[in-house]
């Protein structure tokens, strides 16, 4: 009888335990801590997972992703949209390295002014547009893409990758620069020594220059961003120091302008002698500007057009501010093209692997090796011989700042348009 009572007591206890567990009450057995983490589903989650993977792991994930997508739809391709043909070269090299992607990477050439509305529409509709996007123009990126959360960043890691602060969120792919170029055959390499010369006003020992050629910021987004950055705290500091050196006296604030940058902008735009329509054409013609020493503000990368002339002018005949001439104030403008992934991408792991390759030494050389004026965001990748490293350009030029341009855009753009009669 006692044994029966003991058995009944045990059974009753078990019933109570399971009953409480079923109701969610009482002390339950702890969850299994070895449960596998949830599989990443969104593009953002997959990018986060990719950043923790080794190259081999990322390749395996990308290969499986692409093969599964092709199996589901044989027409599937990886779409890479960009306004620089260097991405096409990167894509060709990528397919040779990762043969499983052969004939599945498509480069689409996009012009910024035409492509921006396409990106904007895709963001608003939350629709697929591409798997990889490489764009420029900080204002558009800030207002239309980042604020909307549509373009996302992947940053590779490992011994082969090193990035300066501020270049990974958003992720920079390639950095460019625009500088003041002139043919020094007759005017000499020291024609421009202080940025205040470009206002046309004479200084204490230097004369003002009245022969600058610039593409209008009203039609060139990069130049608009350059002009806006002239009003930034960094520019104010540079311009104030250069002013004292040039005029031999301290700058006294003019109440007509918000700061010295706005005053410089007003005087500089008024003094521009030529508003050219194409940087490429102007640099090609620079060999004919020896007599007046025309100062052309254009991308250093345009030297490939200058050096490609049939006359084969010597690079020694050309001076680039901040390159082989020192200019007080600033030598030009450093700006970026960002490598980004739309949140609607169909092949995010492949996108991450593609960006990793683009930012590697091999990928950078495939796309932009052997040319002046191209600098990888991965500082381990060196520019062409005789050019300066990116760190050097950053010290001598105004540097595009997405956040500052976003904060100052409305006010500064309105002021710039007023100076240009708009």
Q: Which helix (DSSP H) or strand (DSSP E) does residue 337 occupy?
A: strand 332-342
CATH numbers and ranges of domains, the chain: 43-174+336-398 (3.40.190.10), 175-333+406-419 (3.40.190.10)
Lowest mean pLDDT among 21-35, 160-174, 337-351: 21-35
- What pLDDT sits at residue 117? 95
Across 11-15, 307-311, 361-365, which has the greatest mean pLDDT? 361-365
Residue 333's pLDDT band (cuts 50, 70, 90): very high
Q: Answer whether residue 5 shows pLDDT above 60.
A: no
| Residue at token pair 């007080």 | 328
Angle at 364 between CA 81 and CA 323, to 5 degrees: 110
Q: Which helix (DSSP H) or strand (DSSP E) does residue 4 occupy?
A: helix 2-23
Q: What percent of the chain has pLDDT over 90?
A: 76
- What pLDDT sits at residue 142? 92
Q: Answer whether residue 309 shows pLDDT above 70.
A: no
Average pLDDT over residues 213-232: 96
E strand segments, 148-285: 151-152, 172-183, 212-215, 274-276
Mean pLDDT score across all residues of the chain: 90
Residue 290's pLDDT band (cuts 50, 70, 90): confident
Q: Answer whether residue 257 shows pLDDT above 60.
A: yes
Output b/e per residue, 312-327; b: 16+ Cβ within 10 A: ebeeebbbbbbbebeb
Q: Answer whether residue 6 shows pLDDT above 60.
A: no
Angle between helices 43-50 and 55-72 (to 10 degrees): 150
- What pLDDT sits at residue 36? 64
Lowest mean pLDDT among 46-50, 113-117, 215-219, 264-268: 113-117
Closest CA to 354 of 115, 98, 166, 111: 98
- What pLDDT sits at residue 38? 80
pLDDT tens digit string along 56-102? 999 999 999 999 999 999 999 999 999 999 999 999 999 999 999 99
- What pLDDT sits at residue 25? 41
pLDDT tens digit string along 10-34? 333 433 333 433 444 444 444 455 6
Q: Answer whether residue 251 shows pLDDT above 70.
A: yes
- What pLDDT sits at residue 33? 57
pTM: 0.86
Q: How far is CA 314 from CA 117, 173, 308, 310, 400, in A?
A: 42, 31, 11, 12, 31
* CA 169 to centroid of chain Cα atoms: 10
pLDDT tens digit string along 229-241? 999 999 999 999 9
23 or 314, greater pLDDT: 314
């Amino acid at each position: 009888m006692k044994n029966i009572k003991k058995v009944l007591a045990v059974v009753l206890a078990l019933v109570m335990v399971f009953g409480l567990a079923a109701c969610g009450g009482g002390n339950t057995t702890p969850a299994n801590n070895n449960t596998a983490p949830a599989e990443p589903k969104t593009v953002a989650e997959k990018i986060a997972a990719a950043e923790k993977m080794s190259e081999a792991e990322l390749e395996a994930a990308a290969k499986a992703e692409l093969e599964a997508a092709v199996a589901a739809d044989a027409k599937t391709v990886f779409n890479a949209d960009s306004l620089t043909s260097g991405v096409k070269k990167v894509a060709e090299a990528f397919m040779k390295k990762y043969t499983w992607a052969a004939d599945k990477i498509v480069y689409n050439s996009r012009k910024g002014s035409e492509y921006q509305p396409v990106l904007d529409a895709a963001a608003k509709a939350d629709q697929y547009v591409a798997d990889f996007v490489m764009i420029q123009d900080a204002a558009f990126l800030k207002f239309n893409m980042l604020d909307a959360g549509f373009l996302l960043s992947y940053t590779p890691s490992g011994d082969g990758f090193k990035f300066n602060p501020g270049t990974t969120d958003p992720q920079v792919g390639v950095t460019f620069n625009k500088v003041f170029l002139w043919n020094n055959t007759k005017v000499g390499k020291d024609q421009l020594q202080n940025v205040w010369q470009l206002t046309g006003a004479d200084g204490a020992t230097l004369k003002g220059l009245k022969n600058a050629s610039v593409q209008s910021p009203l039609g060139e987004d990069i130049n608009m961003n350059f002009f806006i950055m002239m009003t930034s705290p960094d520019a104010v500091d540079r311009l104030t120091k250069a002013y004292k050196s040039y005029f031999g006296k301290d700058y006294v604030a003019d109440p007509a302008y918000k700061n010295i940058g706005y005053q410089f902008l007003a005087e500089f735009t008024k003094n521009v002698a030529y508003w050219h329509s194409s940087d490429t054409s102007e640099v090609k013609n620079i060999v004919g500007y020896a007599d007046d020493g025309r100062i052309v503000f254009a991308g250093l990368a345009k030297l490939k057009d200058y050096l490609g002339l049939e006359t084969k002018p010597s690079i020694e005949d050309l001076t680039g501010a901040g390159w082989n001439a020192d200019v007080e104030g600033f030598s030009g403008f450093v700006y970026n093209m960002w490598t980004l992934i739309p949140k609607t991408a169909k092949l995010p792991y492949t996108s991450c692997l593609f960006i990793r390759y683009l930012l590697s030494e091999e990928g950078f050389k495939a796309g932009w090796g052997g040319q002046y004026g191209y600098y990888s965001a991965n500082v381990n990748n060196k520019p062409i011989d005789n050019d300066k490293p990116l760190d050097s350009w950053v010290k001598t030029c105004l540097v595009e700042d997405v956040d500052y341009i976003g904060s100052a855009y409305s006010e500064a753009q309105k002021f710039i348009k007023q100076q240009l009669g708009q």
